[in-house]
Amino acid sequence: YPNSDIAKGVVALDEGGHILVQDRTQKTSVPGIFAAGDVVDFKYRQAGVSSGDGIKAGLDAAEFLRMQGYNDAIATK
C-alpha cells in the first residue's frame, strides 16, 4: 500500500490509497498540490519512474507558479 496517509482528506485518492493525478501530469485534485512516485503509481513503483514523476511534478509546480504571476522580479525580492 502507498504511504499516502498525509493526503487523506486533502486530495482525491483511489480505493487503494493512491493519489489520483490528472491526465499525464502530476497535478492532483487540488490546485498547487502535486504528487509523484509510489503514491501515484500502482503498477511500476520503480525508482526510475518515481524520479521521472518528481521531475514532472517540479515542472508542473513551476507552471502553476507562473500562472499565479510568479516571475523573476518576485524571485529577486
pLDDT in tens, 44-68: 767 777 888 899 999 999 999 999 9
Checking if the pLDDT of 3 tops 80, the result is yes
Give how far Cα 24 sits from Cα of 20, 32, 57, 75, Å: 11, 16, 11, 28
**CA-CA distance, 14 to 73, in Å (whole number)?**
40
Q: Three-state SS for 10? A: coil
> pLDDT above 70 covers what percent of the chain?
99
* pTM (2 d.p.): 0.70
Query: Angle 11-46-10 (CA atoms, 0-180°, nearest 5)?
Result: 5
Q: Check residue 26 and give its pLDDT.
A: 94
* Amino acid identity at 41: D
